[in-house]
Amino acid sequence: MQINSNKLPESCFIVGPNSDPEITLSRNVPVGIRLHENQAFTLVEVLAALVLAAVVLPVAMKGISISMAAADMSRQRLEAASLAESKLTEIVATGEWQSGELSGDWEDDWPEYQWQAQTEEWEENLRKLEVRVYWNKASHQHDVVLTTLVAQESEE
């Protein structure tokens, strides 16, 4: 009986009752070669894998650390910009900008952020209102500044 090994599935082995147990047949394995299930890595392969891991892991961890720091800074800038926008809107809506220089913080809601607002002459009947939100991180001061123009009421 002849068997066409090209029509056999990848994992098919034929061992008959009258066949030699040392001979197996597979599409990818030549006749006479026995597959061993208990093969292991050599010491050189294990050492090479450890050296590769020792080189790659610190670089990967540094990359993760940098990306986490960038994400944290981005979050803080977004929070500061949102706080500055709300404070700028509040100052314009209440007319507090006419009082001169203002400053404060958000107390318990956002304790790490403080704000300052100031105005200066821009053009006739216009003033530039600037709101600066700042915070300290790792002994550096960071800030976000938003500016708008407000109409000064004419004194007639």
pLDDT digits (tens, 9 = 90+) for 48-72: 999 999 999 999 999 999 999 999 9
Predicted pLDDT of residue 25 = 47
Tokens of 126: 């216009």
pTM score: 0.63
Q: What is the mean pLDDT of the chain?
A: 82
Predicted pLDDT of residue 133 = 96
Delineate the domains of the chain, giving CATH numbers in brackets. Answer: 1-39 (no CATH), 43-151 (3.30.1300)
pLDDT digits (tens, 9 = 90+) for 91-114: 999 988 888 789 999 888 889 999
Nearest in space to 152 (alpha carbons), one of 134, 128, 127:
127
Predicted pLDDT of residue 122 = 87
Long-range contacts of 86-93 (CB under 8 A, 24+ apart): 87/115, 87/117, 87/131, 87/133, 88/117, 88/129, 88/131, 88/146, 88/148, 91/117, 91/129, 91/131, 92/129, 92/148, 92/150
Predicted pLDDT of residue 57 = 95
The amino acid that residue 78 corresponds to is: L
Backbone conformation region of residue 18, classed left if phi is above 0, alpha if psi is from -120 to 50, else beta: alpha
